[in-house]
Amino acid sequence: MLKALKKYFTDNRVLAIAVISFVLYIYCKAGNKFVPIEEIAIPSAIGYDFENIDEETKYGVSLSIYTYSDGNVETTVFTGKANTVPETRSTRQVELTGKFLLGLEKVVVISDEAARFGIKNLLEALWVNPAINDNAYFVVSKEKAEGILNFKVESKKSPGDYIDHLMSHLDTFNFFSENYKMIDVIIRAESEGRSVVLPYIEIKDDKLKVTGMALFKKDKLVKSIGLEEARVMNLLRENNAQGIIQLRKSTKSYLSFYGTSKRTVDYKIEEDKFVFDIKLKIKGSVVSNSMYKNLVKDTEVKKTIEKDLKREAEKLSYGFIKKMQKDYEVDCLELGRCAAEKYGRRKNIDWDKVVSESEINVSADVKIVDIGRGDL
Amino acid sequence: MDKEKYEKLTSSQLTACLSGFVLGAGVLILPRILAEAVYQDAWISACIALVYPLYIVLVSSYIAKEHPENNILNINRKYFGKFFGNMINGIFGLQFFIYSGTVIGDYNRIAEISIVGFLSPLKVIIFCIIATAYAASKGVKVFGKLSEVINVFIIPVILITLFVFKEGSIGNFKPAFDAGLPDIIKISKSALYFYIGFEGLVLIHPYVQKGVDIKKASLKAFAFCSIIWVWSVAATIIYLGPDLIKKSLWPFTLVYSSVNFPIINNVRYIFMFSWSLATFRLLSGHILLSHTVINDFIKINMSSIFYVTLPLLGAYAYIATDTLIRQKIVNTIPLFYVIFNILFLSSIMLISRFKKKGTSKG
């Protein structure tokens, strides 16, 4: 019997391999519990809060989970509150109707309060987990994160999808970069001389929108700044970022310039003091001009505009740097990173302090590449 | 001539074969091992350690050229006598057996964390061994063909990582030689474990077609693998920066977070899939090499020996899944074998050189 079987299988190798593979498959599958896709709770966004319950600070982690009914996709928020981050999973599971699964979340919303305490514990829980989506966007919200996830967006999208779309197109204006993802946050929080900045969102006029930037010192939020300042900070901080610089005399007479920035940082030490030189190269086009005449015909006018724009950019930059050094005391321009590359790493230097006390020079170089279809 | 064509390796198959003996799960770990000690200078250590595989490739191809018909096992017996020859053969073959266990151990950890978390280690080990031993049992030619195919999978997956230039910064390499040259050289010793495997050339060279330039083909394999090794370290530094690397167990997998394709949520899984194939290939190669040696002792065909050796390998691999035990093996045994291989292959080279001179004179 056995011999006949052996002979049969040596004659039919393909069949033998198929049988062996099938047996292996069954063996591997045995003992595993598989859940149908409908019963998996897929979060579109994660909210990270701090709560004061019974005079004890607790973590509150909310999930905005997709629910499907009659062809409609809606989201429901489930919140777990506990004194450690992973423990929130167990307290949340008792009200969750599906199996908890991470990996498809698009956005992580951190409330202002939680960010001020520090997001290290959240980052630790996410860093360890291999299933996590490294490319989920991080944002800081003024309100409670749970409130943001519960906010009904007009377009009927889930807040997770809404913020995801908001973030992925943020880099078109205001010199925002696209590096506000989880992996970027971890890299910046853990590397020497680097700093985390995240978009700051608010519910304003019944709309969810970005109203500025949150500046972090390592993993702690220290200051949130408005959009005006954020624009200048981004210009000084990012490479290949796009935005508008404008010269304005009155409501009727102004010039707008849409440019792409590039920055290089140099440093030297003078009398035990670091001196940083930030060089900005901004190339772009004039998108609207009602201030200067004869821009099309006269190259001299073009040069004057370039000079005026340069002066404007430098004026804005110095204004921001002064505030940064005096009030915020954070190296949110990542100057320490450039210095560490030459000065040496791991020398226990607090770059936030060094940058706040050092001299920072900005020189801008604006170039108008095209002026559009012509003057009206 | 037909037999030659169907049973023996072509030049490109030899190249693929050799890269199959060395490329595996190590690439994922290598950046961490080096960066833990020398931070941004890790890539320099990775370059320095390449001296060892280069030496092995050169010596092996010299031996292969001098003895085109005999593999190292026969040469040994010829030069050292039957008893000592067999003993050296045994020691030489044992290294491939030892590495196959640690490779399964390493792969098992990765599989547990990022690929098939729902499988118990034993199941992963059983699957690894059965699949790879089957491939190995088909002989060198099939292994050569298989390696060629898997190289095709590997190359695009490595090329994708060029995305790090967009997200990362080359400034992360600066300042160079920060850790000091002595430290950089000292840590490069730990990279040797990941670079071992080119020794297999002296076992398989009789299976290469006549007229193939073995030296050229194996140097090609060396270049291919060293580019991947050094790049894996360099790319990780460019993307993650020197401080973060040591905090991840498999830092090279994180480089794939820099890649964003529409539709594909996580490019890392694609990488893991093709790198699993590479690891299986490595395992298969080492099983093939160790069993070539065992075959030489006991002249039965390979698939019959498997009934004895594979359960042994399985048990050993199960022990090696324990990180501490594996660490101990990896820290000591490769160093011994590096010295052994250098001495042993050099002496074979020198002896055959003198013999050649002697015969040409006589």
Q: How far is the alpha carbon of B110 from chain A, nearest alpha carbon, in Å? A: 10
Interstrand relation of A137-141 and A207-217 (parallel, antiparallel or unpaired) = unpaired
Minimum mean pLDDT range among A88-102, A199-213, B21-35: A88-102
The answer to whether residue A342 neighbours chain B at the CB level (below 8 Å) is yes
pLDDT in tens, A307-321: 999 999 999 999 999
Interface of B with A in 3-42 (CB under 8 A): 39-40
Question: Which amino acid, residue B316?
Answer: Y
Vertex A190: Cα angle to A184 and A196 (nearest 5):
50
Vertex A332: Cα angle to A329 and A338 (nearest 5):
110
Question: Encoding tokens for residue B254?
Answer: 């994180």
**β-sheet bridge partners, residue A221:** A216
Q: What are phi and psi of A283, to 5 degrees?
A: -110, 140
| Cβ within 8 Å, pair A345-B242 | yes
B11 in Cβ contact with B212 (< 8 Å) = yes
Interface of B with A in 107-126 (CB under 8 A): 113-114, 117-120, 123, 126
Q: What are phi and psi of B251, to 5 degrees?
A: -60, -30
The answer to whether residue B226 neighbours chain A at the CB level (below 8 Å) is no
Instruction: State how far the Cα of B229 lies from the Cα of B219, in Å rounded to an integer.
Output: 15
Q: What is the mean pLDDT of chain A?
A: 88
Quick one: pLDDT at residue A218?
87
The answer to whether residue A133 neighbours chain B at the CB level (below 8 Å) is yes
| Closest among B198, B200, B91 to B140, alpha carbons compared | B200
Helix, strand, coil percent values for chain B (each to nearest 5): 85, 0, 15
pLDDT in tens, A159-184: 889 999 999 999 899 999 988 999 99
Quick one: pLDDT at residue B186?
92
| Cβ within 8 Å, pair B266-A345 | no
Among B112, B239, B266, the strongest candidate for a mutation testing the A interface, having the largest count of A CBs within 10 A, is B266
Contacts of residue A194 in chain B, CB cutoff 8 Å? 241
**Residue A132 to residues A123, A136, A353, Cα–Cα distance (Å):** 11, 9, 34
| Cβ within 8 Å, pair B126-A24 | yes
Instruction: Please name the residue ranges forming H helices in B241-322.
Output: 251-254, 267-297, 302-320
Question: Encoding tokens for residue B198?
Answer: 């080119």
Instruction: State how far the Cα of B59 lies from the Cα of B53, in Å rounded to an integer.
Output: 10
How many other C-beta atoms lie within 10 A of the C-beta of residue B310?
A: 17
Give pLDDT tens digits along chain B (362 positions): 567 778 889 999 999 999 999 998 889 999 999 999 998 999 999 999 999 999 999 999 999 999 988 889 999 998 888 899 999 999 999 999 999 999 999 999 888 887 877 788 888 898 889 889 989 988 899 999 999 999 998 999 999 999 888 888 888 898 888 888 999 999 998 899 999 999 999 999 999 998 889 999 999 999 999 999 999 999 999 999 888 898 888 999 989 888 877 777 678 888 888 899 999 999 999 999 999 999 888 888 777 888 889 999 999 999 988 889 998 998 899 999 999 999 999 999 999 888 888 776 54
ipTM passes above 0.90: no
- Whether pTM > 0.80 for this model: the answer is yes
Q: What are phi and psi of A334, to 5 degrees?
A: 55, 40
Question: Which amino acid, residue A198?
Answer: L
| Cβ within 8 Å, pair B241-A104 | no
**Residue B212 to residues B141, B148, B221, Cα–Cα distance (Å):** 15, 17, 14
| Cβ within 8 Å, pair A345-B244 | no
Q: How far is the alpha carbon of A288 from chain B, nearest alpha carbon, in Å? A: 32
Among A186, A194, A348, the strongest candidate for a mutation testing the B interface, having the largest count of B CBs within 10 A, is A186
Vertex B214: Cα angle to B78 and B333 (nearest 5):
65
Quick one: pLDDT at residue B362?
47
Question: Encoding tokens for residue A251?
Answer: 């409501």
